[in-house]
Structure 1
Amino acid sequence: MDSTQSLVEHAGAGERFAHKLSVALIPPVIAAAVFGLLVAAYEHGSLLHQIVVWIVATTCSGGLQIVYVLYLRRMDHVTAYDVPERTQRTKPYLLSAGISLGGLLFLLFLNASVFVWGLMWCFTFNTLILNAINLRWKISAHMMGFTGPLVFLWPLFGWQLLWLLPVALLLGWARITLRAHDLPQVLAGAAAGVVLTLLQVWVLIYGVLPLL
C-alpha cells in the first residue's frame, strides 16, 4: 500500500482533503491548464492547429510522465505514486526533462507561439535543475510546478494572479499535512518555481531568441 494512501486511510478529514488537493493540483494538471490559457491567448492559427499544439504541450509536460510513474509503481520500482523517496526521483526527473525537450522540438516544428514553447523550455531546464537539487535535498515539486508556470500568465492577468495565493498556501499546507515535505522544502519549491522560471525567461529573451 502507498505510504500516502495508508496515511490518508487512517487519518481524519483534514488529511483526506489534503490528499485530494495534492492529487488535483499535481504539476501536469497545472501545466495543462496554463498551456490551455496560453494557446487560447497567443495561438492564432486554425482551431485544429491550436488543439494539436495544446495536446503536444500537455502530453509532453506531464501526460507521458504520469504514464511512466504509473508503470514504475506497478513494477514496484517506487514506493508510491508521488515518489516520496528522494533517491527514487532521479530517473523520473531525467525522463521528464527528456520528454519535455522532445515536446519543445515538436512545438518549434509546429511553429507554436514563443509563449507556448517558451514554457516548455522552462519545464525542460527547470526539471534538470530540480533533479540536481534533489540529489541533496527534496524540495517540493508540487509547489515548483504550481508557481513556475504562473510566471507565463503574468502578461495576461498581472496582479490578478494574487487571487491564486490562497490556493498556493493550501497546497503547501497539504504537502506538509501529508508529511511529504516540511515547511522549508515547501517554501523552497515555491521560490524555485518563480526564480528559475524568471531565469529561463531571461535566457530566452537575451540568449536564445536573438539567434532565431
Structure 2
Amino acid sequence: MSSNLHRFASLISWVVSPVVVAPAAYLLIILYGFQEDPSRGDYLLVLFLASTFVPMMLIYGLKKIGRVSDYNITFREQRFLPLLVMVGVNALGYEVMTQLDAPRIFTGILLFNAVNTVLILLITLQWKISIHLLTLTASIALLFLQFGAVALWLLFLVPILMWSRIKLKAHSFMQTFVGGLIGFLIMYVELTWWIGL
C-alpha cells in the first residue's frame, strides 16, 4: 500500500511539474485570450523554449555529466547552476518578446520569471523552497489575471501537490506552503503592476 502511494505521489509530481504546468498555462492564455493575434505562434514558441525545452535539456545534460543527482534536482546545493542558467534564458526570452512587440502579459511573464528565479536562487543559498508549488501557483495567478475567478478552481491541485512533495520527502510542509504562497502573490502583484490592471 505504501509503495502504491509512493508511486502515485511520484506520478503527481511529474504530471504537475514546472515543465508541464507553466507551458499549459501559457497555451491556454494564447489559445483563448489571443485568438486573433497573428503572432501568437511565435509567442508560444518563445515561452515553450524558455519554460520547457531549455530546462529539460539543461537538466538532462547536467544529469548526464553527474552535476545533478536526479531530474527533480532534489538536493538544494545542486540547484544553483540550473537556476542561474534559467535567469539568463528568461532574460533572453524577454528580449525576444520585446522585439516581437508582444502583449505586455508575455513580456511580463518572461521578465518576472527571470526576476523570480533570482529570488529563488537567493533563497536556495539558505533554504530549499518548493519550485513545484511556486510554479503551480504562479501559473494559477496568470490564469486568474487572464480569465478571472474561474481559474481559482485550479487551487484544488495545491494540497494534492503539497502532499505529493512531502510524501516523496522532497520537501517539508513549510517549504511547500511558502513556495505556493510566494508563487501566487509575487506573480499576481508583479503582473498586475506590469500590465497596469
Length-normalised TM-score, structure 2: 0.92
Give the counterpart letter for 2:36 in structure 1.
H
Give the counterpart letter for 2:37 in structure 1.
G
Give the counterpart letter for 1:169 in structure 2.
P
Q: How far 1:37 moved relative to its partner?
A: 1.8
Q: How far 1:159 moved relative to its partner?
A: 2.1
Q: How far 1:150 moved relative to its partner?
A: 1.7
Q: How far 1:201 moved relative to its partner?
A: 2.4
Is the contact made by 1:119 and 1:149 (CA closer than 8 Å) also made in structure 2? no
Give the counterpart letter for 2:8 in structure 1.
F
Cα distance in 2, alignment partners of residues 159 and 199 from structure 1: 16
Please say if 1:74 is aligned against 2:57. Answer: no
Give the counterpart letter for 1:44 in structure 2.
E
| Equivalent residue in structure 1 for 2:34, among 42, 62, 66 | 42
Q: How far 1:202 moved relative to its partner?
A: 5.2
- What is aligned with 1:3? none
Of 124-133 and 53-62, deviating more is: 53-62
For residues 22-64 of structure 1, the C-alpha deviation after alignment (integer angstroms, 9 at most, x for no partner) is: 1111112111111112222136332xx2212101111112320
Please say if 1:97 is aligned against 2:87. Answer: yes
Please say if 1:51 is aligned against 2:41. Answer: yes
Q: Secondary structure at the match of 2:148?
A: helix
- How many residues are treated as equivalent by the alignment? 194
Please say if 1:150 is aligned against 2:150. Answer: no
Cα distance in 2, alignment partners of residues 199 and 158 from structure 1: 15
For residues 82-102 of structure 1, the C-alpha deviation after alignment (integer angstroms, 9 at most, x for no partner) is: 111111100010101110111
Is the contact made by 2:73 and 2:79 (CA closer than 8 Å) also made in structure 1? yes
Is the contact made by 2:97 and 2:107 (CA closer than 8 Å) also made in structure 1? yes
Give the counterpart letter for 2:25 in structure 1.
V
Please say if 1:32 is aligned against 2:23. Answer: yes
**Change in 2 beyond 3 A, CA 1:96/1:51:** same
**Change in 2 beyond 3 A, CA 1:201/1:50:** closer
- What is aligned with 1:8? none
**Change in 2 beyond 3 A, CA 1:35/1:171:** same
Is the contact made by 2:63 and 2:70 (CA closer than 8 Å) also made in structure 1? yes
For residues 101-153 of structure 1, the C-alpha deviation after alignment (integer angstroms, 9 at most, x for no partner) is: 11111111111111122111221111110110111110100000100122121
Q: Secondary structure at the match of 1:139?
A: coil
Give the counterpart letter for 1:69 in structure 2.
I
| Equivalent residue in structure 2 for 1:19, among 10, 15, 28 | 10
Give the counterpart letter for 2:16 in structure 1.
L
Is the contact made by 1:43 and 1:112 (CA closer than 8 Å) also made in structure 2? no
Cα distance in 2, alignment partners of residues 122 and 150 from structure 1: 15
Please say if 1:163 is aligned against 2:153. Answer: yes
Cα distance in 1, alignment partners of residues 153 and 141 from structure 2: 14
Is the contact made by 1:68 and 1:92 (CA closer than 8 Å) also made in structure 2? yes
Is the contact made by 1:42 and 1:115 (CA closer than 8 Å) also made in structure 2? no
The answer for unaligned runs of 5 or more in structure 2 is: none
% identity of equivalent residues: 27
- What is aligned with 1:138? 128
TM-align CA RMSD: 1.6
For residues 143-181 of structure 1, the C-alpha deviation after alignment (integer angstroms, 9 at most, x for no partner) is: 001001221211333222232122111111100000000
Is the contact made by 2:104 and 2:195 (CA closer than 8 Å) also made in structure 1? no
Q: How far 1:79 moved relative to its partner?
A: 1.1
Length-normalised TM-score, structure 1: 0.86
